[in-house]
């Protein structure tokens, strides 16, 4: 980005307009301009929490669903569903663990924070 931003063809002195908008925003947010970032951070947190929930449930769905299908196919009573439930729970927890591990690695990779 050039300092003056004059050559963009949309008119106006872009640089000074950006500075004015930033100053206005700082005043709005009470000093440090963290307001918008904060809200975005909250949204990302909600999305991440929801992601963990679906990871957990998805493991269970596959485990129990697969168990039920195998039960119907092999006519083996509820037993494979029970096994599928246990393995599915384990897979769900494994999913959650992997997701958090990956997020943690990404956060550390970005340099603390």
Partner 1 sequence: MAEGGHSPLSQFEIHPIIPIEIGGTDISFTNSSMFMLIALVLISVFLIGGMRRNALVPGRWQVAAEMSYEFIAGLLRDTVGSEGRKYFPIVFTIFMFVLFGNLLGMVPYSFTFTSHIIVTFAMAAVVFIGVTILGFAKHGFHFFTFFVPPGVSVALWPLLIPIEIISYLSRPISLSVRLFANMLAGHTLLKVFAGFVFALSFAGVVPLAFIVALTGLEILIAFLQAYVFTILTCLYINDALHLH
Site pattern 26..65 for partner 1 (x: CB under 8 A): -------------xx--xx--x--xx--xx-xxx-xxx--
Query: Is the four-CA dihedral 28, 34, 40, 43 of positive or negative sign?
Result: negative
Q: How far are the Cα atoms of 15, 17, 23, 26 from residue 30, in angstroms, in the given order?
A: 23, 20, 11, 6
111 binds partner 1 (CB under 8 A): no
Name the residue among 58, 49, 59 with its Cα closest to residue 103.
Answer: 49
Q: Find the part of the chain contacting partner 1 (CB under 8 A) among 23-31, 68-76, 87-95.
A: 87-95
Applying CB under 8 A, the residues found at the interface with partner 1 are: 7-10, 39-40, 43-44, 47, 50-51, 54-55, 57-59, 61-63, 66, 84, 87-88, 90-92, 94-95, 98, 102
């Amino acid at each position: 980005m050039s300092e003056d931003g004059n050559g963009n063809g949309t008119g106006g002195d872009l640089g000074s307009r950006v500075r004015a908008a930033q100053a206005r925003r700082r005043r709005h947010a009470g000093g440090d301009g963290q307001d918008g970032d904060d809200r975005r951070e909250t949204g990302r947190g909600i999305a991440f929490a929801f992601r963990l929930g679906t990871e957990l449930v998805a493991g269970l769905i596959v485990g129990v669903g697969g168990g039920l299908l195998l039960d119907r196919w092999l006519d083996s009573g509820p037993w494979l569903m029970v096994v599928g439930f246990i393995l599915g729970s384990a897979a769900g927890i494994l999913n959650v663990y992997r997701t958090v591990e990956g997020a943690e690695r990404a956060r550390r990779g970005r340099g603390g924070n």
